[in-house]
């Protein structure tokens, strides 16, 4: 009789435990999230590829490129590191990919942090020592680039420290923030396209304000996702606790009946 009671309580406890450890089939969101992020990366990625081709052929695509030809290493590092950061980072936020291919997630995560730090630091270097002297960069745009570039590097560094301390929640939050800032170029291309369609050609200072607004949009979306994940996690913990309490109480009631 006691064996029957133990079997019932065991089944109830298994039913109440979350199935995060079990591999489940990929959902639509697991493909839509990377696809959307990669699509957002498409325009700046193509621009970076064309810039690399211009450096290799000695062709200046824009007036600013003549300055980069004198010292191409920082901009080449920036483009070469930003591309894998955005592309690999897109798959880091798909829950199904993380569950099914944990090895890929960890390896890609290391590359994302390395490439993100390289892209951020090279971007800050270019902003300070190359772009600062160019007429195309105003003081406002310089401030935006230094602020958000520093925030990106800091976010990725804090995300790395968090994962080394096995703090998954804090790691995920800082990585989302760092990736959101790194995707600023994609959002800037999108907002600039919308502006041109509605209002026509961009002019100062609207161009600089729109670039700053794009970083802010990304951070607002990132904070919303972070808070949404935290609220869902708290709700799941509460539900699991209720299920375990019910299973324990039902087991006690069955035990009292068979005594």
Per residue in 8-39, pLDDT tens?
A: 444 444 444 444 444 567 787 778 888 999 99
pLDDT one-digit tens code per residue, 94-115 = 888 778 888 888 999 999 999 9
For residue 15, tell me if it sits in a domain.
no
The closest alpha carbon to 207, from 220, 192, 218, 219, belongs to 192
For residue 9, tell me if it sits in a domain.
no
pLDDT one-digit tens code per residue, 126-155 = 998 877 667 778 889 999 999 999 999 999
Residue 59 has pLDDT above 90, yes or no: no
For residue 233, tell me if it sits in a domain.
yes
If one counts the domains in the chain, the total is 1
Contacts of 139 (CB under 8 A, 6+ apart): none
Q: What percent of the chain has pLDDT over 90?
A: 46
For residue 107, tell me if it sits in a domain.
yes
Q: Would you state the pLDDT for residue 60?
A: 61
pLDDT, averaged across the chain = 81
Contacts of 120 (CB under 8 A, 6+ apart): 149, 152, 153, 156, 182
For residue 258, tell me if it sits in a domain.
no
Q: Would you state the pLDDT for residue 252?
A: 55
At residue 241, the 3 state secondary structure works out as helix
For residue 254, tell me if it sits in a domain.
no
State the residue range of the domain holding 174. Answer: 32-237
Q: Would you state the pLDDT for residue 137?
A: 80
For residue 2, tell me if it sits in a domain.
no
Q: Is the backbone of residue 104 left (phi > 0), alpha (psi -120 to 50) or beta? A: alpha
Count of CA atoms in the C-beta half-sphere (13 A) of 196: 8
For residue 18, tell me if it sits in a domain.
no
């Amino acid at each position: 009789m006691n064996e029957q009671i133990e079997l019932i309580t065991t089944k109830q406890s298994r039913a109440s435990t979350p199935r995060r450890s079990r591999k489940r089939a990929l959902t639509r969101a697991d493909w839509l999230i990377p696809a959307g992020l990669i699509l957002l990366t498409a325009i700046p990625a193509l621009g970076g590829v064309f810039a690399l081709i211009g450096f290799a052929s000695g062709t200046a695509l824009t007036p600013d490129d003549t300055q980069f030809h004198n010292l191409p290493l920082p901009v080449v590092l920036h483009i070469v590191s930003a591309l894998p950061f955005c592309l690999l980072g897109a798959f880091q936020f798909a829950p199904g990919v993380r569950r099914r291919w944990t090895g890929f997630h960890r390896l890609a995560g290391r590359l994302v942090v390395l490439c993100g730090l390289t892209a951020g630091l090279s971007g800050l270097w270019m902003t300070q020592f190359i772009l600062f002297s160019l007429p195309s960069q105003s003081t406002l745009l310089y401030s935006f680039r230094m602020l958000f570039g520093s925030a990106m590097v800091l976010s990725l560094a804090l995300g790395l420290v968090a994962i080394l301390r096995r703090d998954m929640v804090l790691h995920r939050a800082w990585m989302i923030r760092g990736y959101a800032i790194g995707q600023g170029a994609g959002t800037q291309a999108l907002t600039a396209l919308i502006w041109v369609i509605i209002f026509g050609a961009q002019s100062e200072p609207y161009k600089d304000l729109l670039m700053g607004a794009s970083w802010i949009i990304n951070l607002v979306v990132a904070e919303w996702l972070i808070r949404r994940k935290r609220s869902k996690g708290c709700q799941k913990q509460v539900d699991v606790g209720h299920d375990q309490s019910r299973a324990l109480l039902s087991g006690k009631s069955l035990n009292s009946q068979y005594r």
